[in-house]
């Protein structure tokens, strides 16, 4: 039976930030799409419904003239569909090909991880958020973009956070919008500084790929897509580094297995991003009246695709809240689906699952959670540990 979208008024926004999973379970049991008052959007939480949305971008479009993302970052590929999207996506591809990632970016990521670990490995304790995962993802992104190492990791980290805060600023707080625009301005200055170099010297960086694309990009297109990469290419690898380390530290038997059989780090990475998906939700716009599962949607409705919830849908995953690298290999949605499937997937797999996390466990002997400082996790649109205190033997 098809029903109008039910309205839920008692999901507290802070609860979504602290731990969204109980709310997701409740919403998933209610209907295919549920209006959640505190989030001001219709949330879609079931795996099969999300697959249907991702297969039909004519009805569930990424293009959205009212998008907050467009206002802060400019009109990037993420808010385009069909040919306009494909042209800009193709421009990025040379930097993200699996061979380029392995041969070119792999050694660069290894050097960054090595340098960071060397700076604290004799200390016996660290917060892996600020001492490792944050700078690791930031330095990697500076290299990937082609900012030529002149940007401080704290700066790009702040720009990324400010952009994402502004994109998710549904309460329209003017301070958050202003910080997002300031970040976009700083990124613009950085692009202006290095674009000439990349135009004259073709190389694997993202700015070079865009500058040499078959379809010539306007400066606005370049800025918008670089903003998307700054916003979307930092916190996800950072958060998945931490989630993977946390998942393994909570499960010593699984850790022992991956340490014995190093190729299993790649499997463990997939399980980590299923377990706590770094991007928990992204939006789509309904272009015509349509039925999704058991729910009637109307033209113009905004829907929030909760991949963080779909990746814990019990109709697809046994014991979905458990981190288990031994579960059967199954498709998950942490990198999205359809035409906007994450462009940086191979970068993330290489950086996190092949380099940063194996190196941490290799170098820090008897790595364990800190005896007296708690792990803190936060977020639902973006989720991951914001503090991961650990200790090891020195
Ligand atoms: C574990 C790490 C990562 C996860 C879980 C992740 C997840 C995602 C998801 C779910 C989307 C789809 C969003 C949507 O459809 O609205 C996406 C898109 C995208 N991601 Fe990632 N991402 C990760 C790492 C990266 C990295 C490292 C980069 C670049 C350096 C990157 C660049 C992009 C870009 C450019 C898009 C837009 C693709 C398009 O619109 O065609 N991502 N990512």
**What DSSP string describes 295-361?**
EEE-TT-EEEE-HHHHTT-TTTSSSTTS--TTSPP----TT--GGG--TTHHHHIIIIIIIIHHHHH
Six-digit token pair at 251?
């499960």
Q: Which atom of ligand 1 is found nearest the CA of 334?
A: 5
Rg (CA), the chain: 21
Per-residue pLDDT, 170: 67
pLDDT beyond 70 at 187? yes
Rounded distance from Cα 252 to ligand 1 centre (Å): 30
Closest to 110 in 3D by CA, of 81, 88, 138, 140:
140
Interval 303-336: pLDDT, tens = 999 999 999 999 999 999 999 999 999 999 999 9
Dihedral sign (CA 31, 32, 38, 41)? negative
| Beta strands at 282-286 and 302-305: parallel, antiparallel or unpaired | antiparallel
> Which of 142, 231, 343 best tests ligand 1's pocket when mutated (most atoms within 8 Å of CB)?
343
For 6, counting Cβ atoms within 10 Å of its Cβ (0-12 exposed, 13-18 middle, 19+ buried), the class is: middle
- Residue 19's domain spans which residues? 3-391
Per-residue pLDDT, 355: 98
Confidence band, pLDDT 50/70/90 cuts, at residue 47: very high
Interval 107-138: pLDDT, tens = 999 999 999 999 999 999 999 999 999 999 99
Per-residue pLDDT, 192: 94
Per-residue pLDDT, 20: 97
Six-digit token pair at 87?
């042209």
Other C-beta atoms lying within 10 Å of the C-beta of residue 232: 23
User: What residues line ligand 1, using a CB cutoff of 6 Å?
Assistant: 77-78, 89, 141, 144, 228-229, 232-233, 236-237, 240, 273, 278-279, 282, 334-336, 340, 342-344, 347-348
Helix (H) or strand (E) holding 303: strand 302-305
Structural domains counted in the chain:
1
Per-residue pLDDT, 171: 66
Six-digit token pair at 309?
């919830």
Closest to 387 in 3D by CA, of 176, 125, 167, 153:
125
Range name among 174-183, 287-296, 345-354 with the lowest pLDDT average: 174-183
Q: What is the mean pLDDT of the chain?
A: 95
pLDDT beyond 90 at 172? no
Other C-beta atoms lying within 10 Å of the C-beta of residue 74: 20
Residue range 160-180: average pLDDT? 86
- What is the rounded distance in angstroms from the CA atom of residue 70 to the CA atom of residue 50? 23
Looking up residue 33, the CATH number of its domain turns out to be: 1.10.630.10
Rounded distance from Cα 280 to ligand 1 centre (Å): 12
Six-digit token pair at 195?
């674009």
């Amino acid at each position: 039976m098809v029903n109008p979208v039910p309205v839920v008024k008692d999901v507290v926004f802070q609860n979504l930030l602290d731990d969204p999973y109980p709310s997701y379970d409740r919403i998933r049991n209610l209907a295919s799409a549920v209006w959640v008052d505190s989030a001001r959007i219709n949330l879609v939480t079931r795996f099969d419904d999300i697959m249907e949305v991702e297969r039909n971008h004519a009805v569930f479009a990424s293009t959205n003239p009212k998008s907050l993302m467009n206002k802060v970052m400019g009109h990037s590929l993420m808010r385009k569909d069909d040919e306009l999207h494909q042209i800009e996506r193709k421009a990025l591809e040379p930097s993200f090909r699996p061979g380029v990632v392995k041969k070119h970016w792999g050694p660069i990521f290894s050097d960054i991880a090595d340098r960071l670990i060397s700076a604290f490995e004799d200390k016996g304790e660290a917060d892996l958020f600020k001492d490792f995962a944050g700078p690791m993802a930031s330095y990697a992104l500076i290299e990937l973009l082609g900012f030529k190492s002149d940007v401080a990791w704290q700066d790009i980290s702040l720009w990324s956070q400010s952009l994402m805060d502004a994109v998710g600023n549904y309460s329209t707080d003017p301070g958050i919008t202003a910080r997002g625009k300031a970040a976009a301005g700083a990124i613009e200055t950085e692009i202006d500084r290095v674009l000439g170099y990349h135009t004259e010297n073709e190389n694997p960086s993202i700015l070079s790929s865009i500058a040499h694309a078959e379809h010539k990009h306007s400066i606005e297109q370049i800025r918008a897509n670089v903003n998307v990469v700054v916003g979307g290419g930092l916190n996800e690898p950072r958060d998945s580094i931490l989630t993977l380390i946390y998942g393994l530290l909570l499960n010593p038997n699984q850790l022992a297995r991956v340490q014995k059989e190093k190729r299993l780090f790649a499997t463990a990475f997939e399980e980590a991003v299923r377990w706590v998906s770094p991007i928990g939700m992204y939006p789509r716009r309904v272009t015509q009246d349509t039925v999704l599962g058991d729910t009637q949607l109307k033209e113009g409705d905004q829907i929030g695709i909760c991949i963080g919830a779909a990746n814990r849908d019990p109709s697809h995953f046994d014991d979905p809240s458990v981190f288990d690298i031994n579960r059967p290999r199954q498709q998950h949605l942490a990198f999205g689906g359809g035409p906007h499937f994450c462009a940086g997937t191979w970068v993330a797999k290489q950086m996190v699952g092949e380099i940063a996390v194996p190196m941490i466990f290799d170098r820090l002997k008897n790595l364990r959670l800190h005896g007296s400082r708690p792990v803190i996790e936060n977020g639902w649109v973006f989720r991951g540990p914001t503090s991961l205190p650990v200790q090891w033997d020195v």
